Amino acid sequence: MTTNYQFKRLCAGRDYIADNYLDPFSLSRAAKSSHMSQYHFSRVFKKLYGETPNEFLIRLRIEKAKKMLITENLSVSEICERVGYISLGSFSSLFLKQVGMPPTLYRRTLWALSSETFHFPSQIIPACYAYHFLGKSAN
């Protein structure tokens, strides 16, 4: 059981990672923000959030990249840099692992589904919401 005090400290470390997502990952600095040892920080972080601090950072960066791929007219290389990766290869590989398709294919697929430029297609949200709010049926 995470206490209120421990939870607050953990949140400080998590916020540190989120606020500095463009910088190279530093477990020691994140742990320091939580006033915990690196080992303890990683352990309680994983226990509470179900992912390691590094996995959290990757997920955060990929989510930002997914949004940019749809809403911005930037190249994949530019997006890679704008979410904190130096290597396009590493970025593409992590994107593929998280999303199930490479960045370019993700963009092409979603852009093709959407009727409006730089907007997400309705298929990205649960069909019940698309049906009720947009009048779009899954079929």
Partner 1 sequence: MIKSIAHVTVYVLNQEQALDFYKNKLGFEIGDDMTIEGGFRWLTVYPKSQPKLQLVLAEPKEGPMFTKDASEKIRSLIEDGAFGVGVFETDDCQKTYDELVAKGVEFTQAPTEQLYGVEAMGKDNSGNWFSLVQQAK
Helix (H) or strand (E) holding 71: helix 53-71
Q: How many residues does the chain have?
A: 139
Per-residue HEC secondary structure of 44-65 comes to: HHHHHHCCCHHHHHHHHHHHHH
* Helix, coil or strand: residue 19: helix
Instruction: Give the nearer residue to partner 1 in terms of CB position, either 24 or 116.
Output: 116
| Stretch binding partner 1 (CB under 8 A), from 24-32, 42-50, 82-90, 91-99 | 42-50
Residue among 68, 100, 98 nearest 81 (CA) = 68
Q: How far is the CB of 11 from partner 1 (least distance, A)?
A: 6
Q: How far is the CB of 34 from partner 1 (least distance, A)?
A: 13
Contact 84, 21 (CB under 8 A): yes
| Stretch binding partner 1 (CB under 8 A), from 3-11, 21-29, 37-45, 81-89 | 3-11
State the binding string over 54-73 for partner 1 (x if CB under 8 A, else -).
Answer: -------------x--xx--
- Contacts with partner 1 by CB under 8 A lie at 2-4, 7, 11, 14, 48-50, 67, 70-71, 114-116, 119-122, 124-126, 129-136
